[in-house]
Structure formats: C-alpha cells, structure tokens
Amino acid sequence: MSLKLLQLIAALAASAHGLVVPDSQGAAFSVDALLSTPEEFDPAAERQRIETRYPAMHGDIKEAGSVKPSSSGMSFFVPTVIGNQTFKMIYDTGSADLWVYSNESSPFQSLDHPTYVPTSSAELLKNYNWSIKYAFGDEVSGVVFTDTVKAGPVVAHKQAVQAATVIQAEFASDGILGLAFNTINTVQPKKQKTFFETLLPTLKKKVFAANLRLDGKPATWDFGYIDNTKFKGKVAYTPVVSQKYWSMNSSSYAVGKGSFTSSKKQVGEVIVDSGTSLVYLPEAVVNDYYSHIEGYEFQQGGTRTFPCNSTIPDFHFKIDSTTLSIPGQDVNYTVYDPANRLCAGAITTQLNSKYSVLGNLFMRNYYVVHSQEEATPKLGFAAH
C-alpha cells in the first residue's frame, strides 16, 4: 500500500472523530482540513481559473509565469466519502458545484486521481449536465448523479454529485465541494443544492465555519456549530451583500501603522473565497499598498516583487467597526527570483477589473463563520 494512501486513510480516520450532537436540535460536526504539500504555484493559472467564476466587465492586467514553491502549501484538502470512495476535496466558498473526476473520463485526464464509480447508492439524473469554462477554452463538464456524501460522521443523502467526464484543466485536488449559494450552480436544466444546503435541515445551527490555519493547530471545517475554543474574543458579524457569493462591504483601509483612508478611498465589496489562494483588490488600493515597500517592482507579466529582506507592512481594512488584517509576513508568500533575491507579493489587482476577493491567505488568520441563521446571511470573523 502506498504512503500517500496510508496518509489519506489516517487523515480520514482522524476526521471521523468530529463532533456530533445527537439531540432533537440537530447535528454538529467538524472535519479536518489538510494542508497541501509545497508545490510550484502559478499566479497566472489561478487568476485564469477563478476569473471564470466572476464574469468580466472589461480587460484586465494579466499575470504570467509561475513562482517557486512557498514554504507551505497553498490549499487545504478535506477527505470526503462519495458513495463508497474517498476523495481529496477542496471545500470552496466561491463556487456551488460538487464535482469529482469520473471513471468515464480519459485515463490521461484523470492521471494520479481516483475516479468516481457510481454504485448502488447512486442514481443518474437523466438529461442533466454541467459545464465550467476556464481560460483558453479549457472545460470541465459531465453528467450528474445523486449519491451519499459523507464528511466526518455526517451523511448527506441524495446529494448532487457532478461526475466530470471531460477535464481539460489540471487540479491538485480530486474535486471541488462548493459552499457558495446554489444560484451559481452550473447544473442544467435545474440547479442543484450545495452540500451545506442539503444538510441545513439536519444541522443544530444553520452555520459552517472555516478554520484554516498554519499555526500548528489543526485546520478544520465546522458545520452546525461555532467552536469557541478555536478563536479569541467574540465573532464580529457583517451582512452578506450578494445572493451568489459570500461577500461583504469593506470601507476604508490602512497600510502598516498609517491612518485609515477617507471615505473616497474604499475597498468596496469583497468576496471571501476559500477556493482562491491570493488576495485581489482594486488597482488603486494595490498600488498604494506597494508604494510603501522599498524596492518594489512591477514585473512584466503583472507579478509584484520586492527584495526578500524588505519590511512588508500589514494591510488593514474595515468591515463596519471591525478591523481585519493581512500580516505583511503573509503578503511575502514566496520567492520569485532566487538569483536576485526577489520575493512575490500576494496582494494583486481585482479579477476582471471588478471583483475583489480574499483568498485563504487572508482566511487562515481568522475563524470565518458563514451563517444562514437569519433571513440575511452573515459573515463572521474572529482572530485565532
């Protein structure tokens, strides 16, 4: 048995010890999120991949080229059982599709990935299909089943599972489990519920929380409850302003120890997206931030670099009366040019010149609550 398989089995066993509340008020559970191994990260590929989920307004500066491996992985994987198979999934708050590699895809396209084989628990939704378009015409598409999906101790029955028969893009994970709102689900002719929406009637609370962290403590996704042991102080909530994404309004911002900007210089609407690694902000905000870094350069292709020994300021922004921050040490996320000792910055310009996005580089500093307890969904933040 391979080392990778043993590690995955061990991880799944660990995640199965999640909290269950077996009372009439419903279930609550936690699953472990496993940090990916360091690998070459391509900011251009990430931008091209996620720009497809946020429709374009007009042209944008395109980044090109990969950078060296970061000191840690850029993604968090969750072992998840679909039917009777285990898949290494990314739990993605920026999309609403649950898809996996299918046994109907070509062996070349599914190389190094387990493939979904429908069993007796699965039912094909006849004449249903789905398709996600990526940059340069790449596509992931296929057919739709309903099946059991098990995360930790809890099973979602008759969950829509999108089996990918065409996979023209490369993914480190075995699939995606979307946690945005099903208004952006791509299944035709009828949109399908997300995993969270399927579980909602059974959960103790209509919440889930992303506890993505790099401080040596376990990273987790918590469903149906808020774990007060995983953060400090109180959770600060703000209303969600979209019926598609987990997004919020941010007002002023500050760089380092500087003052917060006036009302004329705002961040605006930002999407919190665990399926994205970096941070994408308005160009004026990005340029202002990097102007505070000595030796900053804008490289051909769009990557923003600076000497690796530079002092990198924190980035702060307001949601209502709460200040959230991205530490400067996180902005300096990887080496760009070892020979010249240049590092790359993780804060870059908006997607399609319209959408600001806070990826898991931001999320890993907070316990992030996604609540549907009230008519208007809310996002909540508490520092680790």
Domains identified in the chain, total number: 2
Q: Is residue 146 part of a domain?
A: yes
Please identify, among 211, 240, 267, the residue that sits at the C-terminal boundary of a domain.
211
Q: Is residue 92 part of a domain?
A: yes
- Tell me if residue 273 is catalytic: yes
In this structure, which amino acid lies at residue 234?
K
Catalytic choice (97, 147, 174, 273):
273
In this structure, which amino acid lies at residue 321?
S
What is the C-alpha to C-alpha distance for residues 71 and 213, in angstroms, rounded to an integer? 14
Q: Is residue 293 part of a domain?
A: yes
One pLDDT digit (tens) per residue for the chain, 384 residues:
444 444 444 444 434 333 333 333 568 888 888 887 655 556 656 666 666 666 543 333 333 333 333 344 568 899 999 999 999 999 999 999 999 999 988 777 777 899 999 999 999 999 999 998 765 567 889 999 999 999 988 899 999 999 999 988 778 889 999 999 999 999 999 999 999 999 999 999 999 999 999 888 999 999 999 999 999 999 999 999 998 999 999 989 999 999 997 766 789 999 999 988 899 999 999 999 999 999 999 988 788 999 999 999 999 999 999 999 999 999 998 888 999 999 999 999 886 667 899 999 999 999 999 999 999 999 999 999
Q: Which residues of 164-187 are buried (b: 16+ CB within 10 A; e: fewer)?
A: bbebebebebbbbbbbbbbebbbb
Specify the CATH number for the domain of residue 134: 2.40.70.10
- Tell me if residue 227 is catalytic: no
198 and 259 share one domain: no
Q: What is the pLDDT of residues 121-138, one digit of tens each?
A: 999 999 999 998 765 567
Q: Is residue 252 part of a domain?
A: yes
Q: Which domain holds residue 371?
A: 228-383
Q: Residue 48: which H helix or E strand, with range?
A: helix 43-51
Catalytic choice (32, 92, 97, 330):
92
Phi and psi dihedrals of 313, rounded to 5?
Answer: -75, 155
Q: Residue 10: which H helix or E strand, with range?
A: helix 3-15
